[in-house]
Amino acid sequence: MESVVKRSLLAPMKTLQCCVSGDKQQASRSQGQRSKVTRVQDPRVLRSYEAELQKERKLREAMNAKKNAERAAMRAHFRRKYQLSQNAKDSAQLRAVGGKVFLSGDLARMVRPDAPEKDDGFNLIRAFQGLKFSGPMFTGSKHSRADKTTNEEPCRVIRRTDAQDTLLFSSSQCSVCEISIGSMFSSCAGSVCARPHLCVRASVCVRPLHQSSRSAGAARLFQEIPDTGSNGWMNLLRFWRDGRFSRMHKHMEESFRRLGPIYREHLGSQSSVNIMLPMDTGELFRSEGLHPRRMTLQPWATHRETRRHSKGVFLKNGTEWRADRLLLNREVMVSSSVHRFLPLLDEVAQDFCRSLRRRVQADGFEKAGQHTLTLDPSPDLFRFALEASCHVLYGERIGLFSSCPSDESERFISAVERMLATTPPLLYLPPRLLLRLRASLWTTHATAWDDIFSHAEQRIQRSYQRLQARPSAAPDCSFPGVLGKLMEAGQLSLELIRANITELMAGGVDTTAVPLQFALFELARNPDVQECVRAQVLSSWQQASGDPLKALQGAPLLKGTIKETLRLYPVGITVQRYPVRDIVLQNYHVPAGTLVQVCLYPLGRSAEVFSRPECFDPSRWSADADAGSAGGFRSLAFGFGSRQCVGRRIAENEMQLLLMHILRTFKLTVSSTEELSTKYTLILQPECPPRITFSTLTHQH
Ligand code: HEM
């Protein structure tokens, strides 16, 4: 019997081997042999084995196709994310499995990091996931007007009903996968489904992450959300009359106290839904779409349009924004770029401290070898921030710590201040009215921007000439600044480089100089905290042997100090988004396209979100302490997702490095530990800059 089986199997096995190895000669040889063998074998036995082999082959092919499709789906996902052209092979591999790909746990998590565990890291993969996980199609709700206008249709990832850790890639209209599988879903009524693993509605029923979406059926009407007054123009008049713009953050805090965790506000031409709780922010974040949009700063946009300047990432939207943003990320957000500019920031921070030390020694009073001087550090901090920005962006120092800094720089600093202060009152007027409004407010605003542009223009010209003059034969390896890198890359037109660099300049000075004032004040009025941070800084600095990156990594309390400062004094008091699908917040239905603002000032001071919110405690952000807390969406000063602050890495490192060197050099004290009054001028700042006492440490470390 054994010999019969062996003989009958031998030929087909050989044929198969030859097919796999591509050995034609051997294949034809074995064909010959087979004809010999089959002549002597029972054809029924042979057919049955051949059928078995055929089945096996099909199974293997199906498994291979599945694996290929899995890889193709991942490749397609990243291609779309990084805006690379699609690949026909990937599409074919996806088509081979009918557009269905079940991703295993790790891969699924890569494309769908539902709830960001950490809210402070920039992760290209996470930030540009660009995937929608639910939407009207999935929740069964009707498409809203705004939904129809949106032309984004990213891949959909749906949680399966029958598997805990598996995701189904579907692609009904997906431009990546190019496969139409609409029919797969259309026949299903949802409740009784022959193919529950393919049923969209069934998937939604078990989505565990969108608590609020689950209650969508019972959600209350949008109009039922409490508001602060239904007439936007009356409200705007009241704001102007009472000068309430400068107390916007307090107004928000008070409105939440009065109306609960969600309310609507109508101001002039703008209406918004205001929220603050992390669970609502999470829901908003998940619905921001591939091209997240913020509220347009209309006065800024009108300036660009009337002066015929291009817009940079701050003012752009859609695919244009994304294209510029990906190029900027490469130069300022990814870790290789941080390595490039960190030494430049460190150099400026060290120079600042040396110059301040000289001044304290020269002008302060001395006791037992310790020099002490009380001063308002804000003008110096503005100069520091400008010097640091220019060094990173243009690759050149502008000498602001010298005894007579240039008028040009002082003019720039004052222009940014004027531009910021005149923005909020102009923010809620329609653009046409802005243009007609030849009032001094608009003129002040527009000319402030003109000054900012002309400063940037001069710097750009200078850097351009410097780059041109670099000998091409022996290329200078030094970092040419972000501007130089963008020029070298040659992917953005000069006009777009100018637009973006000007925005980076305008956005990069006050935003860091002001939190530094608050940080110094809080460290000075919390001496125990100051000592803790200093102890960590000194030990880390010693171990890092002058390497700024290592020094920062070894002193996480510095990062905690910045996060804690921005919790209490967020530079921008809101982060705004227009959800691309209908969502449910606090059990109210919020249609797609509604302006939703996360109010950071009330969030940072909420006892519901932070324990002892009034305490300045950098250690609350340490990994251990944070792990026990309610999770993400609590530290949002830089915004979130792919549209988060593009200058974040510059800002964080710049501020941490300066604090590090100040703590190594000085002891900080304040005469009064009273709360600082704050005002809102597009950014949150102290009403009166705090005076800080700097005392030199006897042994500088
Ligand atoms: C403590 C310092 C800073 C804070 C708190 C801050 C905060 C923010 C916030 C909240 C946003 C909106 C993000 C969102 O919508 O999710 C933003 C956007 C932006 N920031 Fe910052 N920022 C800071 C420093 C900087 C610096 C130093 C620069 C330039 C070097 C900069 C340039 C920008 C730009 C260009 C955008 C627009 C990004 C986009 O729309 O793609 N910021 N910033």
HEC-encoded secondary structure of 132-166: ECCCHHHHCCCCCHHHHHCCCCCCEEEECCCCCCC
Percent of the chain with pLDDT over 90: 50
Tell me if 242 is assigned to some domain: no
Taking only the tens place, the pLDDT of each residue in 80-95 is 654 455 677 777 877 7
The angle formed by the CA atoms of residues 454, 317 and 273, to the nearest 5 degrees, is 110
Distance (angstroms) between ligand 1 centre and the Cα of 503 equals 10
Are 520 and 620 in a shared domain?
yes
| Contacts for 194 with CB less than 8 Å, ≥ 6 apart | 188
What the block records as the tokens of 90 is 């990937």
Backbone angles phi, psi at 414, to 5 degrees: -70, -30
pLDDT band at 127 (very low <50, low <70, confident <90, very high): very low
Rounded-to-integer distance, Cα 632 and Cα 603, Å: 13
Distance (angstroms) between ligand 1 centre and the Cα of 302 equals 20
Tell me if 576 is assigned to some domain: yes
Among 120, 496, 638, residue to substitute to test ligand 1 (most atoms within 8 Å of Cβ): 638
Element (H, E) at 375: strand 370-375
Q: What is the DSSP string of 340-368?
A: HHHHHHHHHHHHHHHHHHHHHHHHSEEET
Tell me if 565 is assigned to some domain: yes
Q: Give the pLDDT of residue 217.
A: 54
Tell me if 256 is assigned to some domain: no
Are 178 and 318 in a shared domain?
no
Tell me if 39 is assigned to some domain: yes
Strand order in the sheet with 167-170: 101-103, 167-170, 156-159
CA–chain centroid gap for 262, Å, is 24
Specify the 3-state DSSP secondary structure of 41.
coil
Distance (angstroms) between ligand 1 centre and the Cα of 106 equals 31
Are 49 and 160 in a shared domain?
no
Q: How high is the mean pLDDT of the chain?
A: 78
What the block records as the tokens of 216 is 């969508």
CA–chain centroid gap for 445, Å, is 28
Task: Give the pocket of ligand 1 (CB within 6 Å).
Answer: 294, 313-314, 325, 503-504, 507-508, 511-512, 515, 566, 571-572, 575, 637-640, 643-647, 650-651
Are 70 and 53 in a shared domain?
no
- Contact (Cβ atoms closer than 8 angstroms) between residue 682 and residue 344: no
- Contact (Cβ atoms closer than 8 angstroms) between residue 559 and residue 656: yes
| ipTM score over 0.90, yes or no | yes
For residue 583, CA distances in Å to 111, 241, 276, 670 come to 21, 35, 15, 47
Are 204 and 348 in a shared domain?
no
Are 514 and 449 in a shared domain?
yes
Q: Among 209, 229, 256, identify where a domain stops.
A: 209
Strand order in the sheet with 574-577: 262-267, 270-275, 596-599, 574-577
| pLDDT over 80 (residue 347) | yes
Backbone angles phi, psi at 635, to 5 degrees: -115, 95
Are 13 and 85 in a shared domain?
no
Q: Among 40, 62, 84, identify where a domain stops.
A: 62
Tell me if 678 is assigned to some domain: yes
Instruction: Name the packing angle between helices 378-394 and 407-426 (round to 10°).
Output: 100
Q: Give the pLDDT of residue 108.
A: 63
Domain that holds residue 574: 298-696
Q: Among 35, 62, 89, identify where a domain stops.
A: 62
- Contact (Cβ atoms closer than 8 angstroms) between residue 328 and residue 312: no
- Residue 483: CATH number of its domain: 1.10.630.10
Tell me if 18 is assigned to some domain: yes
Tell me which residue has its CA closest to atom 31 in ligand 1. 647
pLDDT band at 111 (very low <50, low <70, confident <90, very high): low
Number of domains in the chain: 3
Are 449 and 493 in a shared domain?
yes
Taking only the tens place, the pLDDT of each residue in 465-504 is 887 777 665 555 678 899 999 998 889 998 999 999 999 9
Ligand 1 atom index nearest CA of 637: 5
Are 488 and 430 in a shared domain?
yes
| pLDDT over 80 (residue 242) | yes
Radius of gyration of the CA atoms of the chain, in A:
31
Taking only the tens place, the pLDDT of each residue in 130-147 is 333 333 322 333 333 333
Are 605 and 676 in a shared domain?
yes
Instruction: Report strand pairing: 678-681 vs 596-599.
Output: unpaired
Rounded-to-integer distance, Cα 551 and Cα 343, Å: 12
User: Tell me, what DSSP letter sits at residue 84?
Assistant: P
Among 332, 645, 646, 650, residue to substitute to test ligand 1 (most atoms within 8 Å of Cβ): 645
Are 321 and 189 in a shared domain?
no
Backbone angles phi, psi at 167, to 5 degrees: -120, 145
Are 535 and 645 in a shared domain?
yes
Q: Beta-carbon neighbour count of residue 212 at 10 Å?
A: 18
Tell me if 261 is assigned to some domain: no
Ligand 1 atom index nearest CA of 562: 1
Taking only the tens place, the pLDDT of each residue in 356-373 is 999 999 999 999 889 999
Q: What are the binding residues for heme?
A: 645
